């Protein structure tokens, strides 16, 4: 089995001398290419911080994050952004769409950053995939939470990521919309072979992935394969 993400002795602290808060403490695991994985644990246990480090959004205080063979710790912020553009997708719990851009323009941003061609048509295709072609010219405030999350999914899919990180992707959605969003994520995992790492408090969603990693107090306390 090939490894796409390798976390070794990872630690993260916030604050400075005298007032340090250790949020992650000596976390170790590896994620197989093409697998689907859930990270669960109580609120405040370090899940979002861990996901951000795995995706190169932030830098660790100790240990290493190796993504697709690249050690992220040795990279500048600019280089980490390049790595993210190349093969990482990230879905934020609160969507993080740019409010001054339409749905279509939000999806076009990563394509533009990658210097790709035909970006408008490709962004339209992506919106169509998530069932939002008819909302392409709407601004985020004109869309429901579920629609905003689907735009953020279309944006996360736009660079055909090798690995997709999702932080509570269904946390702010009603049950029906949550199901729809889950289906989009699992379809991408199954059809395109995109590795999936989902932070969730929804144990039903976690149970649909192949493996559940449990974090408590900044430590990995269990790591189990599911029967999914
Ligand atoms: P979870 O996702 O499991 O709820 P988080 O990773 O969001 O946990 O947070 C873990 C701990 O780290 C919390 O105590 C939180 O207050 C703290 N924390 C997160 N981000 C920062 C930050 N930028 N500065 C200081 N403390 C932070």
What would the pLDDT profile of 8-18 be if each residue is shown by its tens digit?
999 999 987 77
What is the Å distance from ligand 1's center to 90 Cα? 18
What is the Å distance from ligand 1's center to 12 Cα? 10
Instruction: Say if ligand 1 is within 6 A of residue 16 CB.
Output: no
What is the Å distance from ligand 1's center to 66 Cα? 22
What is the Å distance from ligand 1's center to 117 Cα? 39
Instruction: Say if ligand 1 is within 6 A of residue 45 CB.
Output: yes
Closest ligand 1 atom to residue 21 Cα is 26
Instruction: Say if ligand 1 is within 6 A of residue 37 CB.
Output: no
pLDDT digits (tens, 9 = 90+) for 114-159: 888 999 999 999 999 888 999 999 999 999 998 999 999 999 999 8
pTM score over 0.80: yes
Mutation to probe ligand 1, out of 12, 21, 38 (largest number of atoms < 8 A from CB) = 21
Distance CA 213, CA 228 (A): 14
Mutation to probe ligand 1, out of 13, 14, 58 (largest number of atoms < 8 A from CB) = 14
Residue 149, classified by CB atoms within 10 Å of its CB into exposed (0-12), middle (13-18) or buried (19+), is buried
Residue of 59, 61, 70 whose CA lies nearest to 6 = 70
Q: Which residues of the chain have pLDDT under 70?
A: none
Distance CA 128, CA 1 (A): 34
Contacts 24+ apart (CB under 8 A), 122-128: 122/158, 123/154, 123/158, 126/154, 126/155, 126/157, 126/158, 127/103, 127/151, 127/154
Collapse the DSSP code of 196 into the 3-class scheme (helix H, G, I; strand E, B; otherwise coil) and give the result. Answer: strand
Closest ligand 1 atom to residue 41 Cα is 3
Give this complex's ipTM.
0.97
């Amino acid at each position: 089995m090939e490894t796409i993400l390798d976390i070794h002795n990872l630690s993260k602290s916030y604050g400075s001398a005298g007032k340090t808060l250790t949020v992650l403490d000596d976390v170790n695991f590896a994620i197989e290419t093409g697998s689907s994985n859930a990270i669960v644990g109580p609120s405040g246990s370090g899940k979002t911080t861990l996901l951000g480090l795995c995706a190169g959004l932030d830098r660790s205080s100790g240990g290493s994050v190796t993504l697709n063979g690249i050690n992220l710790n040795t990279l500048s912020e600019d280089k980490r952004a390049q790595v993210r553009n190349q093969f990482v997708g990230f879905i934020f719990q609160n969507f993080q769409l740019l409010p001054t851009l339409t749905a279509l323009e939000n999806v076009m941003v990563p394509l533009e950053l990658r210097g790709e061609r035909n970006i408008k048509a490709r962004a339209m295709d992506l919106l169509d995939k998530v069932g939002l072609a008819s909302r392409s010219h709407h601004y985020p405030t004109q869309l429901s939470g579920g629609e905003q999350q689907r735009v953020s999914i279309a944006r996360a899919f736009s660079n055909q990521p090798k690995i997709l990180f999702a932080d509570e992707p269904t946390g702010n959605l009603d049950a029906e919309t949550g199901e729809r969003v889950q289906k989009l994520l699992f379809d991408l995992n199954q059809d395109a072979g995109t590795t999936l790492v989902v932070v969730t408090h929804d144990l039903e969603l976690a149970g649909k992935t192949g493996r559940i990693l449990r974090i408590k107090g900044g430590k990995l306390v269990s790591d189990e394969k599911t029967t999914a």
